[in-house]
Structure 1
Amino acid sequence: MTVDISQTSVDDRYVIFFDIDNTLYSASSKISQAMGERIHAYFLSLGLEEERATELHHKYYTEYGLALRGLVRHHEIDPLDFDKKCDGSLPLEEMIKPDPHLRQLLQDIDRSKARVWALTNAYKTHAHRVLRILGVDDLIEGVIFCDYGNPKFSCKPEPQFYLDAMQKAAVSDPKKIFFIDDSRNNVAAAAALGWGSCVHFCEAGLETVEGGKAKQISADGKEPLPGAIVVGRLEELRSVWSEVFKTTEDGSAKK
């Protein structure tokens, strides 16, 4: 699978796509829990009963990869209103802080070999806000986000979202893409499209919220994803993706 892009925009370097939420920061921040509460409240604001709201929240997340996709399709809500009341109301400055270790990790990627992008199911305002708070916004070349301004927006794990990401990042060869995400389904979708190195970020033992339901993070106990790697710390990328990190004088990746 290749994507046609303008020949004037072709860049032969690798592209690294980092998921943002629960990947660039730890699930221990409890942001997913706070988000789950706000999304549930949004379902209730539509006049749904408690049990029905819970049922649909989980159903839409499971079917579409994002509860908002179901809300737009079946309830004709304004996604920008949803973003304002859910993502936009999160007290992120109280939940995450600048991360010097993350910043150093991103600085140690050799930019002569790889470009660094973010790939998120959030809207651009939330994405840029998180990157700014973490203190790494200047190290991200571009952000692929869900365009809530378009009622027919796509999201992970829909194939179109990944194809659009390749187009926007001007990369035609999927084998030149490195990708890391905390969602097994999102990683599986990228692997199915032939993306070169897919990593499942899995903080085993911590708790997160998916589709409004709390769950303990694990590799799911399912069959391993073909060609995918599981890591529990971002620092492990230095060895997993050693070819795109700066090296020391002896040729080993910088620590």
Structure 2
Amino acid sequence: MTSSRHAPHWLFDLDDTLHHAGAAVFPMINEYMTSYICRHVSVARTEADTLRTEYWQRYGATLAGLQRHHGIAPHHFLAQTHPMESLLPLIETSTQLPQWLRCLNGRKWVFSNGPQHYVEAIVRHLGIEAQIEDCFGMDSFGLMPKPRVAAYTRVLRQAGLDAGRCIMVEDSAANLKTAKRLGMRTVWLSHQIRKPAWVDWRITSLLDLRRI
């Protein structure tokens, strides 16, 4: 067992890392976002869907494009498009995850592009709040989404962390590229065979972290 003085600091992404969001949660959030754009940008549904995707691809978050081009109020958008009473029932829980995190040596944080209320609610829903030092959602680090460097540096500063002691665990290789530039070690949760040069370890299950 590594002593606490030398134990790593773990930065975990949330969606599709600590829980599987792709099958049900993301489609529902996308639907809420498209409906929101229809109402508040006053465009037809087809155009709203195009804008949602285009802004996400160009800026890393749909919200960033809506702020820049349409003056959308960020906190209103995040609250309206992430209603937890609808989303939490879609998220499966497991007794294995809290137990596994307890056994993983080192301190742990959650660092997500989701809004703060969403991140905190899911961490509670998963039953892992006792294992997590703190949660960082996008509105807690200046609404600058990963992979922007400013998001990482702000989280590191708020948590009082040295990048050199951090291991970041993500399903997004692009987000890990910034982490590596800042001096973190990187773990990519993926079934892809080839891994980019900035990824230190590729795993297919969180349980594989035990061998790192």
TM range (shorter): 0.7 to 0.9
Q: Secondary structure at the match of 2:186?
A: strand
Which residue identity does 1:154 align to in structure 2? M
Change (3 A) 1:227 1:96: closer
How far apart, CA to CA, are the structure 1 residues paired with 2:152 and 2:122? 21
Q: Which of residues 44, 52, 55 in structure 2 aligns to 1:57?
A: 52
User: Following the alignment from structure 2 to structure 1, what is the Cα–Cα distance between the partners of residues 22 and 62?
Assistant: 22
Is the contact between residue 102 and residue 131 of structure 2 (CA under 8 Å) also seen in structure 1? yes
1:122 correspondence with 2:114: yes
Contact kept, 8 Å, 2:146 with 2:152, in 1: the verdict is yes
Structure 1's 78 and 158: CA in aligned 2 closer, same or farther, altered over 3 A? same
Q: Secondary structure at the match of 2:98?
A: helix
Aligned partner (choices 99, 103, 106) of residue 101 of structure 2:
106
Tell me if 1:136 matches 2:128: yes
Superposition map of 1:39-58 within 5 A: 39-45=33-39, 46-58=41-53
- Where do 1:75-86 residues align within 5 Å? 75-86=70-81
Q: TM-score, normalised by structure 2?
A: 0.88
Deviations 1:23-42 (A, max 9, x none): 11124652111111111111
Identity of aligned residues (%): 25
Deviations 1:108-155 (A, max 9, x none): 022xxx21001011121111100111111121001122127x9x6212
Equivalent position of 1:233 in the other structure:
205
Query: What's the counterpart of residue 95 of structure 1?
Result: 90
1:193 partnered with 2:187:
no
Q: 1:203-249 CA deviation, whole Å, 9 max, x = no partner?
A: x4xxxxxxxxxxxxxx4x87623243222211111112xxxxxxxxx
Alpha carbons of 1:106 and 1:199: their partners in 2 closer, same or farther (altered >3 Å)?
Answer: same
Q: Does the 8 A contact of 2:55 with 2:61 survive in 1?
A: yes
**Quick one: distance in 2 between partners of 1:137 and 1:27?**
18
Cα distance change of structure 1 residues 189 and 90 upon mapping to structure 2, 3 Å threshold: farther
Q: Once superposed, what is the RMSD of the aligned Cα atoms?
A: 2.2
TM-score by length of 1: 0.74
Larger Rg: 1
Structure 1 spans left out of the alignment, 5+ residues = 1-10, 205-218, 241-255
For these two proteins, the number of residue pairs brought into alignment is 207
Alignment partner, residue 214 of structure 1: none
Give the aligned residue type for 2:131.
L
